[in-house]
Amino acid sequence: MATRAMFFKRADQPAAVGGETWTSGPDSFKLRPLPSEDVYFFTKKIDNSRVVREADPASHRRAVQAGLKGFAVAGLLILLLMPRALEMVAGYRIHALSADHDRLVNQKAAIALEEAQLESPQRLQQLAGQLRLVNPDPKNVVMLNSAKPDSALAALNVTR
Amino acid sequence: MLGWGRRAKDERIREGAHPATRLLFLAAAALLWAIVVLCRLVQLQVVSHKTYQEQADHQQNHILRVDAPRGSVFDRYGHVLAMSVPADSVAIDPLLVPDRPLAASILARELGVDRADLLARMDAAVEEHRLALEQKRKPKGTGFLWVKRKIAPAEAEGLRSLKLDWVEFRKEPHRYYPDGPLASHVVGTVDFQERGNLGLEQRLDRDLNGRAGKVSMLTDVLQRPIESTVSAVAEPGQSITLSIDESVQFVAERELRAACEFYHASSGSTVVMDPHTGEILAMASYPVFDPNQPPAPDEPHSARFDHPVSVAFEPGSVFKIVTLSAALETTNLRPETPINCGNGTINLFGRVIHESHHGWGTIPMADVLAHSSNIGAIQIGLKVGEKNLLEYVHKFGFGKTTGIPLPAESSGMVRDLKHWGKTSIGSVAMGHEVSATALQLAQACSVIANGGVLVRPRLILRRQRPGGKVENETAPAPERVLRPETAITMRQMMEGVVLRGTGKAARLAGYTSGGKTGSAQIFDLQTKHYTHMYNGSFVGFAPVTNPAVVIAVTLNGVKMFGGVVAAPVFKSVATETLRLLAVPKDIPEVEPPPLADPEEANDVSIADMSTPPEDLEQLPPPPAVAPATAPAPAPAQMAGPSVVAVAGPSAPSFEGKTVRAVIEQSMAMGVPVEVVGSGIARQQAPPPGSPLNPGEKVKVLFR
C-alpha cells in the first residue's frame, strides 16, 4: 500500500530512465510499488465551442424522409392488421353475446314451461278444491255479449 | 494499452483482411441462415402441409350442428300444450375419473341411477382401454359414457354444486307436456330423438321439427370461439296453434273419465266442435296416458289409441238422424207424419223383426226419433230407399276420412249398394252395418246444427315460425247437404229427444239442447255374435236456436244405454262449455228433473235383425249425487261421476267426526264447511240431508 511518506518521497526524486526504477536506493521504509502505479490521470479541457456542424440539408431531408417512411410503414401495418384484430375482438364479443342470447332464450322457455305447469287446469282444480272455491251460481252469471255468429244461416253466408 | 488495439488493427490490414471480405462472410452466413429457414418453411408449408393443416383444423376449426328447436303446440288461447326446453345430460370420461367406486356412488345418489350398473360400465370402459393399449389397437368408445340423459333441473343443479371436474354436462332438447295427460291423444308424443310417434307430433313432425343447420367455427387455444361461418341455416320448427280450448278439453276429459270409470267402459270418446267453423274445441279419449312418461308395462294396450279418430264402431240409433234427414229431403214425410211401428214387430222381406225395447203403435215421425223406435226407423228407411239413404250417408261424411291432421284416422265403413243384403236398408237406417268414428258423428251432427252444410273438422288454426309470419290455416269450403229448413226441422225433432224421449238426461239448465241417443250392441269377432255390451252414444248441440257447440260422446263396452251413460256427459260438458264460451242463456234457469227410470233411455237398436237382444242386465242405481256447479273432486277421490248429477247437493252428516275428518269429507264432496270450535262435531246447520244452494256453507260446531 502506498503511504503518505512514500508518496512524498517518490515525488522528490527524478523519474527513472531506461527501466531503472527510482526505488533502487536503499530505503528500508519503501514499500513494493503497486501495479500501473506510473499511470496518471489528469483533466484536459477541450474547447469545442468553435466547432460548428456543417449544414447538410440533403442528409436532414433523408433523415426526415426515413422517419416519415417508417411511420408510414408502421401506420400501414397497423391499418392492415387492425381490422383483423378488431374482427377477433368483435368475434369474441359476438360469440359471448350469442351464448348470452341462447342462455336467455332457454331461460325464457323454461319460465314459460313453468308458467304453463302452474296454470295447468288440473292444478288449478286442485287448488280450488283446497281453497273451497266453487263455480259461480249460474243465476249470478249474466252473459252480456255473445261471441258467436247470429245464426247458422248467417255463418253459412259468410263462409260462402 | 490504448495503443495495442491500433497496432492489432494495423496488423490485420497489413495481412489483407479487407472490410468487404468480412461483409461477404456476414452475407454468406445470413444467406445460409435464410436458406435453412427457407428449407424449414418448405418442409412445414409444402412437404408436411397436409399434416399440419389437419392438426390445425382439428384444433381450431370445428363444424357444429345447430339444432333447430322443435316448435311448440298451443291451444287456441296460447296456452302451452307441448314445448321443447333444453335439458342437461350427464356424461363422464371413465379414464379421467379418479375414484370410480366413489364416483359411481355420488352419481347414483344424485341422479338416481343404478350404482352397480354404472360402476360396471365404467370398469368395462377402463378395461377396454387397457386391453387396447396392450394390443396396440384403437380403443372403442372408452372415453365417453352417458350417465343419465335429459335430467331434471333440480338434479342438474345438485350435481353442478358438487363441482366435479370429471362430470360433463351437455344440453339436449327435451319435450315437455305441462298439462300432463290433457289432450295427450291429440298432441301426441315424441321419442327420445324428438321424433313424433303419436298424434299431431307424428303427423306434423316435419313442420314441428324444422331443419338443423351447420356452423363452422374458428376457436382459439382455449377453445373460445373467434368467428363462425354458417354453412347451412337452421330453420326452427313451426309453432302450431290448435283450435283446442284447454279449459273445455279439461272438462271433457274429466267428465268422460269419471263416466268411463263409473260405468266400467273399456274406452270412451268425447268431441266438442264448433258447428259453424268446424273447429274442434275438445277431443277427449279414454283411457288416458301421460305423454311425459314412457309407456308403462302395465299400461292398457288401448291407452294411446285416439279413440275419437281412430276407432270406428257401429253407431246405433244416433245414425237415425241421417235416416230422418234423408227422409225430410227426399220424401214427403214430415215430423207429424204418422209412422206405423207395428207394436214392435215388422215383417221385412220375409223375416219377422222384433223391437229391441218398448214397441210402439202408430206414432208421428218426430216421436220415432224421440223414442228411438227401430221399427219406425226401418219404415222410414224403406220409404227413403237404399239409393237415397246411401247417398245421404255419404253426404253426411260417413265412409271417408274427415281430413283432420291426425294419424291413423279411420274412415269407418259404409258398404256399396252391391254389397247390401235384403235387410241392409233396415240395419243401416238404425245405425248397423255401418261404422263411424265419434268425430264423424260430431261432423254429421254439425250439418244439422249449422243449417245444413258439411263443415270439415279443423284442428289447426295457424302456424308460425319464431320471428316469422303467421300463417292462418284455411278451412275447406263447406258443402251443402240439407236445405236450411230441413236442418231446422231436424233440430226441433232432436230437441224432442231431449225433452220427451230417450235423451232426457241431456237437458240443460238455462239452455235448450237437442240430440240423439244411441246404444249399439258390440259384435264379438270370436263368437260371431252380438254381445250384451253396448256402445252408448249421444250426439247433440246447444242451444237449439243457434247452436254454439256440437258434442259427441261415446262410451264403449258398457252395459247401459247411451241415454244413461253418455247423455249426462253431454250435459256436464255442454253446461261448462257454454259458460266458458259466454253463450247467452235462452231459457229460464231451471234444473231439469232427473231421469226417473233408466228404461226411459232404452234405445237399443236391433243388431242382427232376427234375434232381438235379451233384456238388459239389472241396471245399477244412479251414482252418488254431486253438484254440477261445485268443483269436481280430485280423480282419486271420485266416488262417482259428477256428470250424472241430476239434483242439487244436500248437506252431509258430520256429527261425531273430528275437524280433520270433516274437512276431508267436505273437500271430497265439494261442500264447503265453516268450522266453529274444536274437538268432535256436535251440531251442524243446515242439518244432514238439507238441500244446499251452490256455494252455501255448512256450519259445523265442534266441542
Search chain A and give the residue with CA nearest B173: A106
Residues 83-142 of B with CB under 8 A from A: 83-86
Chain B window 10-69: which residues touch A at a Cβ cutoff of 8 Å? none
Residues in chain B within 8 Å Cβ distance of A156: 450-453, 478, 484
Evaluate whether residue B54 is within a structural domain: no
Tell me if A15 is assigned to some domain.
no
Which residue is associated with the grid cell 393399449? Answer: B133
* Residues B690, A42: Cα–Cα separation, whole Å: 135
Residue A13 is assigned to a structural domain of this protein? no
* Confidence (pLDDT) at B223: 82
Q: Tell me the pLDDT band of B11, cut-offs 50, 70 and 90.
A: low
Report yes or no on A88 lying in a domain.
yes
Residue B46: count of CB within 10 angstroms of its CB? 9
How close A139 comes to chain B (CA, Å)?
7
Residues 153-172 of B with CB under 8 A from A: 153, 171
Same domain? For B234 and B259 the reply is no
B585: chain A residues, CB-CB within 8 Å = 143
Question: What per-residue confidence (pLDDT) applies to B610?
Answer: 40
Q: Does position B128 have pLDDT exceeding 80, yes or no?
A: yes
User: Which position has the higher pLDDT, A36 or B88?
Assistant: B88
Residue B36 included in any domain: yes
Is the overall model pTM greater than 0.90, yes or no? no
Residues B518 and B589 in one domain: yes
State percent of chain B over pLDDT 70.
Answer: 88
* Residues B377 and B503 placed together within one structural domain of the fold: yes
Residue-level pLDDT at B649:
64
B331, B603, B278, B277: which is closest to B489 by C-alpha?
Answer: B331
- Examine the domain organization and report whether B396 and B306 are in the same domain: yes
Do B513 and B506 touch, CB atoms closer than 8 A?
yes
Residues B450 and B569 grouped into a single domain: yes
Tell me how close the Cα of A28 comes to any Cα of chain B, in angstroms: 33
Do residues B400 and B319 share a domain?
yes
In this prediction, does ipTM exceed 0.90? no
Query: How far is residue A121's CA from residue B81's CA, in Å, rounded to a whole number?
Result: 12
**Per-residue pLDDT tens for B588-609?**
877 777 766 666 666 666 665 5
**Nearest-neighbour CA in chain B from A19: distance (Å):** 18
B234 and B255 housed in the same domain:
no
Query: For B658, what's the count of Cα atoms within 13 Å in the CB-facing half-sphere?
Result: 3
Burial B79-88 (b: 16+ CB within 10 A, else e): bbbbbbbbbb
Residue B452 inside a domain? The answer is yes
Query: What pLDDT was estimated at residue B614?
Result: 39
Which H helix or E strand runs over B509?
Answer: none
| Cβ burial A23-54 (10 Å sphere, 16+ → b, else e) | beeeeeeeeeeeeeeeeeeeeeeeeeeeeeee
In a mutational test of the B interface, the residue from A122, A124, A140 whose CB has the highest number of chain B CBs within 10 Å is: A122
| B289, B303 contact by CB (below 8 A) | yes
Helix residue ranges, H only, B519-561: none
Are residues B229 and B251 both part of a single domain? no
Chain B closest-CA separation from residue A98 CA (Å): 11
Instruction: Assess whether B358 and B223 both reside in one domain.
Output: no
Q: Is A44 on the interface with B (CB under 8 A)?
A: no
Contact B546 A150 (CB under 8 A): yes
Domain count, chain A: 1
- Decide if B631 and A135 are in contact by the 8 Å CB cutoff: yes
The SS3 of residue B283 is strand
What tens digit of pLDDT does each residue of B431-450 get? Answer: 989 999 999 999 999 999 99
- pLDDT, average across residues A70-80: 96
Residue A62 has pLDDT above 90, yes or no: yes
Percent with pLDDT over 90 in chain A: 39
Look up the CATH number of the domain holding residue B491: 3.40.710.10
Span B275-292, mean pLDDT? 94
Contact A156 B450 (CB under 8 A): yes
List CB contacts (< 8 A) between B227 and chain A: 87-88, 91
Mean pLDDT, residues B196-203 taken together: 92
Is A112 in the B-facing interface, judged by CB distances under 8 Å? yes
* Nearest residue, CB atoms, B509 vs list A130, A138, A143: A138
Kindly report the average pLDDT of chain B as a whole number.
85
Which DSSP string do the residues of B337-405 spell out, in sequence order? SEEE-GGGEEEETTEEEE-SS----EEEHHHHHHTT-HHHHHHHHHHH-HHHHHHHHHHTTTTS----S
Residues in chain A within 8 Å Cβ distance of B629: 134-138
| Cβ–Cβ below 8 Å for B579 and A138 | yes
Range(s) of the domain holding residue B435? 246-601
Q: Does B476 touch chain A (CB under 8 A)?
A: no
Q: Using the beta-carbon criterion (under 8 Å), do A152 and B449 form an inter-chain contact?
A: yes
- Examine residue A92 and state whether it is found in any structural domain, yes or no: yes
Minimal CA separation from B201 to chain A, in Å: 18
Count interface pairs A-B at CB distance under 8 A: 144
Inter-chain touch A155–B276, beta carbons under 8 Å: yes
Of A121, A128, A152, the CB nearest to B546: A152
Yes or no, beta carbons of A95 and B275 under 8 Å apart: no
For residue B243, which phi and psi values (nearest 5 degrees)? -85, -5
Q: Which of A27, B174, B587 lies closest to A13, judged by CA?
A: A27
Cβ contact, residue pair B80, A141, below 8 Å:
no
In angstroms, what CA-CA distances link A20 with A2, A15, A17, B36, B509? 20, 9, 6, 61, 149
B208 CA: distance to closest CA in chain A (Å): 16
B324 and B456 belong to one structural domain = yes
A20 within some domain: no
Per-residue pLDDT, averaged over B515-520, amounts to: 92
Instruction: Please determine, for residue A97, whether its predicted confidence score (pLDDT) is greater than 80.
Output: yes
Tell whether B73 lies on the interface with A, counting CB pairs under 8 A: no
CA distance B560 to B617: 8
Interval A42-54: pLDDT, tens: 888 888 888 888 8
Q: How many CB atoms lie within 10 A of CB A116?
A: 22
Residue A42 belongs to a domain? no
Measured between CB atoms, does B634 come within 8 Å of chain A?
Answer: yes
Nearest CA to B155 out of B176, B173, B172, B169 is that of: B169
- pLDDT digits over B466-493, tens only? 888 899 988 888 999 999 999 999 999 9
Q: How many domains does chain B have?
A: 4
User: Is residue A143 assigned to a domain?
Assistant: no
Searching chain A, which residue's CA lies closest to the CA of residue B174? Answer: A110
Relative to beta strand B239-242, strand B196-198 is unpaired
Taking CB atoms and an 8 Å cutoff, what residues of chain B touch A159? 276, 453, 455, 475, 477-478
Nearest CA distance, A85 vs chain B (angstrom): 11
In terms of domains, do B417 and B556 share one?
yes
Q: Express each pLDDT in B579-590 by its tens digit.
A: 889 888 888 877
Of A113, A150, A156, the CB nearest to B85: A113
Residue A81 is assigned to a structural domain of this protein: yes
Residues B283 and B406 in one domain: yes
| A18 has pLDDT over 80 | no
**Across the interface, do A116 and B582 touch by the CB < 8 Å criterion?**
no
Q: What is the pLDDT of residue B267?
A: 93
Tell if the CB–CB gap between A121 and B176 is shorter than 8 Å. Answer: no
Residue in chain A lying closest to B171 (CA):
A106
* B150 near A CB under 8 A: no
More confident residue, B619 or A122: A122
Res. A73: pLDDT tops 90: yes
Residues of A in contact with B247 (CB under 8 A): 121
Would you list the DSSP string of B79-121?
-EEEEEEEEEEEEE-GGG-S-HHHHHHHHHHHH---HHHHHHH
Mutate to test the interface with B, among A97, A118, A124, A143 (most CBs of B within 10 A): A143
B228: contact with A, CB 8 A cutoff: yes
Host domain of residue A77: 65-130
Strand, helix or coil for residue B279: strand
Does residue B224 sit at the A interface (CB-CB below 8 Å)? Answer: yes
Q: How far is B257 from chain A (nearest CA, A)?
A: 13
